[in-house]
Structure 1
Amino acid sequence: MADRTVDVLDATLRCLLRYGARRTTMDDIASETGVSRSAVYQYVRNKDDAVRRLADRLHAEAMAAAREAAAAPVPLADRVFGIASAKVLLASGPFADSPHAAELIDEQARLCGDICRTFTEDLHGLLTAVLAEAGRERPAEAAGIILATTIGLLAVGRTDLLRTATDALLTGLGTKRLEGEQQ
């Protein structure tokens, strides 16, 4: 028998987007997968395990995209935009129209908040490394500003401004203060 874990997690995603984590049941996941409930237990321990494994998979896919952007042989602005876009990637696609997406991608989520926080910390580390490699001043602070801006744009539904924002931040973060200028 082939490992159907991917099928179970895909079914979990469809159920979560439709019903949310609280209302989704193992029976829902089994029905969506096309197997019995006992068969689902061969691949996941319980509903919480399925949700966490799904969240982990989604965040790992987004992190892979961020790492690819960081390593790309393109200008710094394109690399930074690509890394920040990984955060947006999680909120787009199937999540765009679901009121339940936050249960998988919000740092405050009961089941997956730790996965989300680790993802954001890893993005921060990746941005910091890319900015440091490019010789930017205070790369950790700059990375924090870029992530905060990305999160803010997500919150107000204006991810279309991400490229403009990252370009503006890089331009502003790349300039040194004039002598005597206030911090």
Structure 2
Amino acid sequence: MSDDEKLEAILGAAYECFRLHGVRRTTMDDIARHAGMSRPAVYQHVRNKEDAFRRLATRLFSQAMADFRAGLDADAPFPERLALALAAKLRLVIKVWSESPHAEELLGEGVKLTADLVFEAHATTLDALTAAVHAERPDADAEEFAELLMALGRGLEVRSADPDVPLRRLRHGVALLVAGLDHPATA
């Protein structure tokens, strides 16, 4: 097994352990056992469970960002492209909520371990949304509109019995916001 394959096995095992036990209760022994490796073999690829969590978060954020960009680049109407892009991050949060009884810890406590990654993903997302809005509606306040879109997405990051509900509400909310761009209220 190559080093990359070993790291993937470790990160997959780490996800399972964090999902099942949370970050605080997971041990390096748990990760090694789930990966089918010895602890010393795991330590050759990650320094500790916090390092495993950060590497896992980096991988998940990278995939979500690739999906976000694909949504923005989709051959679809503007509101649908925005909804597709924002749904990428929302799906990641929904996945954690639906798969783990420790989601609150993973999304709260875990963010403390990855605050810089979260900040970078937020900034990248905001910049890309601002550029997309500006390209589509040059007369709009693109940055303000992008912030509203981000707030809509964050507001929908809640546990739901039906994971399709937040995604449906996201599509509907984006459509309403874009309609507001086309028909601004007069004050």
Q: What is the TM-score with the length of structure 2 in the denominator?
A: 0.88
Corresponding residue number in structure 1 for 2:175? 167
Larger relative contact order (CA 8 Å, sep ≥ 6):
2
> Are the aligned partners of 1:107 and 1:113 in contact in 2 as well (CA < 8 Å)?
no
Q: Once structures 1 and 2 are overlaid, which stretch shifts more, 83-92 or 7-16?
A: 83-92
Does residue 146 in structure 1 map to residue 149 in structure 2? yes
Kept in 2, the 8 Å contact 1:127–1:143? The answer is yes
Which residue number corresponds to residue 15 of structure 1? 17
- Measure how far apart 1:101 and its partner are: 2.8
Structure 1 SS opposite 2:113:
coil
Q: Give the RMSD, CA atoms, in angstroms.
A: 1.9
Structure 1 CA distance, aligned partners of 2:16 and 2:64? 19
**Aligned 1:66-77 pairs, distance under 5 A:** 66-77=68-79
How many pairs align?
Answer: 179
**Structure 2 gap ranges (5+):** none
Q: Which amino acid aligns with 1:175?
A: H
AA at the equivalent of 2:142: P
Work out whether residues 103 and 110 of structure 1, in 8 Å CA contact, stay in contact via their aligned partners in 2.
no
1:84-163 matched pairs, under 5 angstroms: 84-106=86-108, 109-136=111-138, 137-155=140-158, 157=160, 158-159=165-166, 160-163=168-171
TM-score (norm 1): 0.89
Counterpart amino acid of residue 144 in structure 1: E
1:112 is displaced (CA, Å) by 1.5
- Give 1:47 deviation, angstroms: 1.1
Counting aligned pairs with the same residue, the percent is 37
Greater shift in the superposed pair: 148-157 or 103-112: 103-112
